[in-house]
A and B are shown apart, each in its own frame.
Chain A
Amino acid sequence: MSGNFWKLGIAAALTILPASIASAQEALDADQAAALCHGGGSICVSAKIPVARTTQAVQSWMSPDVGAAWAAGYKGKGVTITIVDDFSSSSRFSGNFGIGTRYQRHGEWTREEASMIAPAATIRSKDFSTGSAVPLASGRNVLNLSYGMYANAGYSVNQIGWAKEEQSIISYASKGSAIVSKAAGNDSVAVGGVTSGQQDYLDLALIGKPTAIFVGALSTNGTTSNKAQLAWYSNYAGSDPTVQSHFLVVGVEGDKTGLYGTSFAAPIISGYAAIIGSKFTKATPVQITNDLLNTARTDTLVNYDPSVYGKGEASLSRALAPVAIH
């Protein structure tokens, strides 16, 4: 690896983003905490493994919007969702999205969730440990990133020597060639904020990119009569208007699935994007992104504040609806 590629000798941690539920956290085993070094040398990324969950087989974890789309047999046809995640480690954990308790890797969970929301979207799996560039499929693309790239705080994004994997993702978000659904993180800080002396530089690199969406978690799906609030672990939008304008929240009802964390918020937005993309077959990723952002609801949230909820709770039904009709 050339010196130019690795601009700085920092240690970036590749971290998947389930919530760290102290009372239920599993101890990390050596494999789970193993370093995944992109090119060795100065920058290593390490995978942190999801927490333990209580499994509770229910099928009502989706918002009514998602449930309706699913019940209607909506397929998400013509859109490819690429799940960039862990598909190779020995780390597995239990959960149940309503189709039976399973014991799966993190990526297998996020893939399953996205595929349940947009059942006929083409789902691709990209193991994040490879570091190779993420290829786009022909047609419309959504990238699901339920992980972060952590390193010591204080560097600028330009100082990070990204692997080709993240280079490609950031490039797609910059050029608007794919929708990038990025889990906001589970450290109860603002997007890109410092936690334990580290920052998620992938968050920072995606700020201001036209097709990047940061996805926070609500503890429930919100309604006007039963408003939702941010899950205790979820990162929030923060004071940066640029982040606020690309920040959405969705319900992650872990009490029903046993799966907590913004890792399981991002696939919902990926699925929404696929559904919108299959309705508006000529829409660009930028248009789909803006549609999702501009139709988010604020009246389903407790004490809506853009610094917490960004644009608000994503609403599939409103994203599919006209602005006006006559």
Chain B
Amino acid sequence: MRERSNNRDGFGAAALLLCVVVGASPAMTQEVTTSLVNIHQGSWLSDRARGLANGGYELQDGSWVSFNRWYHSNWVDMQVDFLTQLTENSGILWGVGTGERAEKYRIAPSLKLGFLTQTHPSLNSTLSLSVTSTVGGNLSEKPCVADYGELGTYSVNCRLAAGETAPEDTLKYLVNATPERLRLWLNYRVTF
């Protein structure tokens, strides 16, 4: 199987695709077995959060504020996925995501649940279908408190505090993003 490739450079390399069969062959014993099918660090939400760290601006006294101090995380969201095989041709896909956080954003932990089924149109081919759903894992950006001196103190989008947008309006541009909630995956494999 091949996962849809939307990995980022930095963390795509960290992705591991494992198919480790735990337990005996289900075809022989019909026992419920669980396989670790994927360990993956990073996601498009992680990358998006990391993108928020680019840039900065000067305060009124000229001192530089780098966004990196607010949007740098020491830990990158990691997803671990498992397949619990129920029959020879079906199983439950499930997994967890650790989430990540920095001072001004958070990616919440996530849970993934779905199923996988497959059929063999011919002796050397496999057609598989999986559907997974993810709960949690939202990326949410936190506001800052900006002191504009005589002009007042406002809750603002940290990144837009020095721009032309009215302070209260900057909050409209706080990033709130959700991961893929539902993934449908159809795969046809021919072995020769």
Contacts and interface: CB of A to CB of B under 8 A. Distances in A.
Nearest to A322: B146
Contacts, number: 79
The bracket for how many chain B residues form the interface is 20 to 34
Nearest to B170: A279
Interface residues of A, number: 28
A317 B59 CA distance: 9
B145 to A, nearest CB: 6
B167 A279 contact: yes
A99 interface: no
Nearest to A324: B147
B3 interface: no
B162 interface: yes
A290 interface: yes
B148 A275 contact: no
B147 A283 contact: no
Interface stretch (A101-109, A238-246, A291-299): A291-299
Contact of A325 (B59, B163, B164, B165): B59
Contacts of B166: 278-281
B83 to A, nearest CB: 46
Of B150, B161, B164, the most chain A CB neighbours within 10 A belong to B164
Interface in B138-192: 144-152, 156, 158, 161-167
A122 B151 CA distance: 22
Contacts of B148: 280, 291, 322-323
Contact of A279 (B57, B144, B158, B165): B165
B60 A280 contact: no
B156 to A, nearest CB: 8
A322 B150 contact: no
A278 to B, nearest CB: 7
Given A295-B60, A299-B62, A317-B58, A322 B164 contact: no
Contacts of A319: 60
- Nearest 6 A/B pairs, CB to CB: A321-B162, A322-B146, A74-B164, A323-B149, A325-B146, A324-B147
